[in-house]
Amino acid sequence: MGQLCVPSSVTRTVTDLMIESAAVDVAEDFDAVARLYRPKIFRFALACLRDRDAAETIAQDCLLKAYLAVHRFRGECSLQTWLMQIAVNLIRDYTRNQRLRFWRRMEQRGRMEGFENWLIDERDPEALTSSKQQVRTIWKAAHSLPPKQKMVFLLRFVEDMDLLEIAAVTGMKEGTVKTHLFRSVRRIRERLAGPV
Amino acid sequence: MNHLSEKQISEWLAGTHRTDVQAHIQVCAQCQAEVDRLSDALVSFRGTVHQWAAVPNASRAVIPETGVARRFRFAWAMAAIFIVLAASLWWPRLRAPRAVTPHPDDDAALLLQIRTDVSRNVPGPMEPLSRLTPSDSATVRDTQ
C-alpha cells in the first residue's frame, strides 16, 4: 500500500499560512477586536485588582501588546484566550509590584466599601439585603484567597470560563485548575456559612 | 439517605458535574436547596461585578461612602492630629535644659560668692584698674 507522504516543508508552509491568515484577520480589524474584548479584559482586571485606574491601564497595555504581537498569534487558541493570557501576565506583574505599597492598598480598601450596592435584584427588599450580604462576603473571601486560587475563581465565576479555558489562560494543568477551584469554592462556602 | 458531602458540593459548584451527584440533587430537596443557594450567591456576585465594571468611574463617583469608611478615615485623621500635638508639646521639653535641683553645698558657695562680691570696694570687672591706682587710705596717709 502506498502511503501518502507529505514533505515537512509543505506541512510547515500550510501551518505558516494558517498563522499568517489568523494574524492578518486579527490585524486587519483590530479596532473591532478591541471593541469586543476590551470590556471583558477591563472587567477581569478590575475584579482582580479592585482599582479602576489600574484596570484601565492593564486593559490598554493588554491591547497594545496584542497589537504589537499580532503577527505571533498562531490561531491555536481562541482570540479571547490569547488576550486573557496577556492580561493575566500583566495583572501578575502589577500585583507583584504593588504588594508592598501600603497606602495604595488602604486607598483601595476605602473605595471598595459598598461594592454590593451594585447588585441589581428585583426581589423583595429582605431577599435583596440577604443577597447583598452574600455578595459582600464572597467579595471579601475572594480577595483573601491566595493569588492563584483568586485568579482561577474569578475566571470561573466572573468570566464564566470552563476548566480547559482557564487552564489555557493561566498556563496551569487542568487538574491544577480543578484543585485551585475546589479549594477556593470550599473557602467561599465556609465564609458564607460562618459569621460574616 | 446520605446527603452530599462538603467536597461533593464544592466540586459540583466548581464545575465538576458527576452523574451520581446530579442524580442525587434531582431527588434530594435539601441538597438541591443548598446547591441552589450557593449558585444564586455566585450568580449575584457575577452580576454585581459586571454591573460595577460597566459603569464608568463607578468606584469613585457613585458608590456612597459608608459609615465604616468615614469612621476609618476619621480615625486616621484623629491619630495624625494627636501625633502632631503630642510632638509639639513634648519637643520643647526634650530640647530645654533640665532644671537642676539646688544642693545645700551649692547654696553655701553661692552665698559666699555673693558676700565676696558685695564686700568688694569696686565691682569685679573694674578690679584690675583699681590695682593700678593706690587705695584711698594710702592716699589719705600720704597727704597727711
> Is A25 an interface residue toward B (CB < 8 Å)?
no
CA nearest to B67 within chain A:
A113
Percentage above 70 pLDDT, chain B: 74
What CATH number was assigned to the domain covering residues A114-196? Answer: 1.10.10.10
Least confident span in A8-12, A133-137, B70-74, B105-109: A8-12
Single out the residue of A66, A81, A86 nearest to residue A26, CA to CA. A66
**DSSP run (H or E) holding B40:** helix B29-54
CA B31 to chain CA mean position, Å: 51
What's the distance, Cα to Cα, between the start and end of chain B in Å? 142
On chain A, the residues whose CB falls within 8 A of the CB of B55 are: 118
CA–CA separation, A44 and A50 (whole Å): 10
Give chain A as a 3 state SS string. CCCCCCCHHHHHHHHHHHHHHHHHHHHHCHHHHHHHHHHHHHHHHHHHHCCHHHHHHHHHHHHHHHHHCHHHCCCCCCHHHHHHHHHHHHHHHHHHHHCCCHHHHHHHHHHCCCHHHHCCCCCCHHHHHHHHHHHHHHHHHHHCCCHHHHHHHHHHHCCCCCHHHHHHHHCCCHHHHHHHHHHHHHHHHHHHHCCC
**Percent with pLDDT over 70 in chain A:** 71
Mean pLDDT of A21-34: 72
Instruction: Kindly report the nearest CA distance between residue B59 and chain A, in angstroms.
Output: 6
Min Cα–Cα distance to chain A from B85, Å: 23
**Residues composing chain B:** 144
Q: What amino acid occupies position B1?
A: M
How far is residue A62 CA from its own chain's centroid? 12
Residue B99 in grid coordinates:
532644671
The predicted structure's pLDDT at residue A21: 58
Give dist(CA A113, CA A98) in Å, integer: 20
**Chain B residues with CB-CB distance to A45 below 8 A:** none
The 3-state secondary structure of B89-143 reads HHHHHHHCCCCCCCCHHHHHHHHHHHHHHHHCCCCHHHHHHHHHCCCHHHHHHHH
pLDDT of residue A97: 78
**Interface predicted TM-score of the whole assembly (ipTM), two decimals:** 0.75
CB contact under 8 A, B15 and A162: yes
B113 vs A29: which has the higher pLDDT: B113
Mean pLDDT of A9-30: 58
**What pLDDT, on a 0 to 100 scale, did the predictor assign at position A169?**
92
User: What's the fold here for domain A7-113?
Assistant: Rna Polymerase Sigma Factor; Chain: A (1.10.1740)
In tens, the pLDDT along B30-46 reads 999 989 989 989 998 99
Q: Report the pLDDT value the prediction gives residue A15, as an integer from 0 to 100.
A: 52
A158 or B54, higher pLDDT: A158
User: Which are the contacts of B125, defined by CB distance < 8 A and separation ≥ 6?
Assistant: none
Lowest mean pLDDT among A59-63, A97-101, A159-163: A97-101
For residue A40, give the nearest of B60, B62, B63, B46 by alpha carbon.
Answer: B46
Is the per-residue pLDDT at A8 higher than 70? no
Provide the Cα torsion A34, A35, A36, A42; round to 10°. Answer: 70
Q: How far is A9 from chain B (nearest CA, A)?
A: 43
Hey, how many other C-beta atoms are within 10 angstroms of the C-beta on A84?
25
Domain boundaries, chain A: 7-113, 114-196
Model confidence at A1, pLDDT cuts 50, 70, 90, reads: very low
User: What is the structure's pLDDT at A165?
Assistant: 92
Provide the CB-side half-sphere exposure for B84 (13 A, CA): 6
Q: What is the largest CA-CA distance in chain B?
A: 144
**pLDDT tens digits for range A133-144:** 888 899 889 988
- Across chain A, what does the average pLDDT equal? 80
Nearest to A114 among B57, B66, B73 (CB): B66
Residue A39 touches chain B, beta carbons under 8 Å: yes
Better-scored residue on pLDDT, A75 or B4: B4
Please answer whether residues B38 and A141 qualify as being in contact, where contact means their C-beta atoms are separated by less than 8 angstroms: no
Q: Minimal CA–CA distance to B52: which of A34, A51, A105?
A: A51
